[in-house]
Amino acid sequence: MPVVVSEAVQRARWVEAETIHLKRMGLSFEAIAEQLTRIGRKQTSAMTPMPEGLTFPTDYTITRQACHQAFRKAIAREPSLEVEEFRKLDNARSEEMFLNLQPAIRKGKERAVEVGIKLLDHSARINGYAAPQRHELTGKDGKPLSLVETKQEIQSRAQVVAEAVKLLADQGVSVRLPTGTEQRSN
């Protein structure tokens, strides 16, 4: 006896397919929810073909959370090659954004630098090569420094920075250090 798929399941599968298609185009879940609501109310046409006989309630609405859930379910069902395709798409978008930030980064605009760093961090996490953060100073031999050696190294580096700032100030260059970097006496 053949299995009969309910209209609710057909609708859910179509919502998943349409969500995937619209997400590939770069739409946000908010925009996808608005588009699906318009399609359900027959105010616009769909991007993916609808099964014959599929209907929506006259007051049909869908939330962005429901679109996100449909997206996650569809991705979980997709083979890993699809996930790799989304990773490539995400990388292409990130690279495009980073390239567009380059002129502002070269001009030294703080916000562009911040966004660029966030984009690079996002890319590293997506691709799985972001290393866990370690904050440890090492000596010339590559081994971790002791607490006393670490304090001496920090003082040495602070002295180098202070000398560099003084040199720049002598040349008329204005230098603004981040807060909390004042030299402290022991």
* 153 contact partners, CB below 8 Å, separation of at least 6: 137, 145
Report the alpha-carbon angle 29-37-70, nearest 5: 45
Question: In this structure, are 123 and 147 located in the same domain?
Answer: no
Q: 31 is written with which tokens?
A: 């925009």
Question: In this structure, are 30 and 85 located in the same domain?
Answer: no
Domain that holds residue 143: 134-170
Question: In this structure, are 1 and 69 located in the same domain?
Answer: yes
Contact status, residue 124 vs residue 106, Cβ threshold 8 Å: no
Question: In this structure, are 19 and 69 located in the same domain?
Answer: yes
What pLDDT was estimated at residue 185? Answer: 42
Residue 183: pLDDT above 70?
Answer: no
Query: What is the number of structural domains in the chain?
Result: 3
Question: In this structure, are 30 and 44 located in the same domain?
Answer: yes
Question: In this structure, are 47 and 104 located in the same domain?
Answer: no
Question: In this structure, are 35 and 58 located in the same domain?
Answer: yes
Q: What is the pLDDT of residues 93-140, one digit of tens each?
A: 888 888 999 999 888 888 888 888 888 888 888 777 766 655 566 667
What integer is the mean pLDDT of 158-183? 69
What pLDDT was estimated at residue 61? Answer: 94
Question: In this structure, are 51 and 116 located in the same domain?
Answer: no
Q: What is the pLDDT of residues 20-64, one digit of tens each?
A: 889 888 889 999 999 999 999 999 999 999 988 888 988 999 999
What pLDDT was estimated at residue 14? Answer: 93
Query: Is residue 177 a part of any domain in this protein?
Result: no
Q: What is the pLDDT of residues 68-106, one digit of tens each?
A: 999 988 888 777 666 777 788 788 888 888 899 999 988
d(CA 142, CA 71): 46
Rounded to two decimals, what is the model's pTM?
Answer: 0.48
Query: Is residue 181 a part of any domain in this protein?
Result: no
Indicate the SS3 state at residue 38. helix
